[in-house]
Amino acid sequence: MSPGVQTRSYGQRARNAKNPAAKTLLDTMERKKTNLAVSVDVTKSEDLLAIIDAVGPYVCLIKTHIDIVEDFDSTLIAKLQNLERKHDFIYFEDRKFADIGNTVALQYSSGVYKIASWSHITNAHVVPGPSIIKGLASIGLPLGRGLLLLAEMSTAGSLATGSYTEAAVELARQNQDFVIGFIAQRRMEGLGAGPEEASDEDFLILTPGIGLESQGDSMGQQYRTPRTAVLESGSDIIIVGRGIYGSDPKAIDAISGKARRYMEEGWKAYVERLV
């Protein structure tokens, strides 16, 4: 584990970032003073846009599952991009690619959603091995996109542990131009590496399974607080979904109030970590 990364500011890390999506994200975090990503998992485009508009001032990143939107049409993308400009954040389509290189390249670039054309960041499981990164990079790298690998999951009984997690870190290490970090529950630098390899590593750690009021759901999700994730586990970005919009996706004032609260909690923990 390299001790330096967690105590370096987002702004300092932005200056060293080689991947454009990672750099933009870190710069946005520093500028807006937020390490909050909101995961907007709703099925109507009207709700999706209203929630993004409500939480926009408080986030560095909006995470989407575009394939759950029932009334999707291509005009939605332009509307999402208007909100990106209005509020100064970037998009992360949580596609969790998991196929051979040729197939994921098509899934990323084509079809109805054309993910690579609008989403700055996406993610992939490492089950297929290095070919999945090669396939996604063939589309994403020329566009300046970044990839996160799922090194761990938040769910009870997750199989992404031990040598699987270490293998994910090794794959990231070999593809640092495109792989910008991990979906994980703790820091990953140095995992499975000698001290030399670990010394200049800087991977973004994005952590889902965050909630202030709940311990989990009925389907295996497990929640920790922003403070635990950022201060104790060294996470860089907290991903919050139902903790913000869960009780009523139409209660826009309550949603923006909750986003502000998560932003404040996340930032406070980060500032404490720096000193």
Q: Does 239 bind ligand S5P (CB under 6 A)?
A: yes
Minimum distance, C-beta of residue 116 to ligand S5P, in the bound complex (Å) = 18
Minimum distance, C-beta of residue 194 to ligand S5P, in the bound complex (Å) = 28
Ramachandran angles phi, psi of 23, nearest 5°: -65, -45
Q: Looking up tokens 């609008």, which residue turns up?
A: 118
Nearer to ligand S5P, 65 or 87 (CB): 65
Q: Does 186 bind ligand S5P (CB under 6 A)?
A: no
Helix H or strand E segment including 150: strand 146-150
Contacts (Cβ under 8 Å, ≥6 apart) of 75: none
* 215 has binding-site annotation: no
Known catalytic residues? 94, 96, 99
Q: Does 45 bind ligand S5P (CB under 6 A)?
A: no
Q: How far apart are CA 42 and CA 55, in angstroms?
A: 14
* Cβ proximity of 202 and 146 under 8 Å: no
Minimum distance, C-beta of residue 9 to ligand S5P, in the bound complex (Å) = 25
Nearer to ligand S5P, 30 or 36 (CB): 36
Residues between 118 and 157 that touch ligand S5P (CB under 6 A) = 153-154
| Dihedral, 275, 173, 103, 96 alpha carbons, nearest 10 | -30
* 250 has binding-site annotation: no
Residues between 1 and 40 that touch ligand S5P (CB under 6 A) = 39
Minimum distance, C-beta of residue 149 to ligand S5P, in the bound complex (Å) = 11
Site stretch for ligand S5P (CB under 6 A), options 20-28, 74-82, 165-173, 233-241: 233-241
* 63 has binding-site annotation: yes
Q: Does 241 bind ligand S5P (CB under 6 A)?
A: yes
Contacts (Cβ under 8 Å, ≥6 apart) of 163: none
Nearer to ligand S5P, 193 or 240 (CB): 240
* Cβ proximity of 203 and 165 under 8 Å: no
Exactly one of 21, 35, 41, 101 binds ligand S5P (CB under 6 A); that residue is 41
Q: How far apart are CA 185 and CA 175, in angstroms?
A: 21
* Cβ proximity of 70 and 44 under 8 Å: yes
Q: Does 240 bind ligand S5P (CB under 6 A)?
A: yes
* 241 has binding-site annotation: yes
Ramachandran angles phi, psi of 91, nearest 5°: -105, 145
**Where do contacts with ligand S5P occur on this chain (CB under 6 A)?**
39, 41, 65, 94, 153-154, 183, 208-209, 221, 239-243
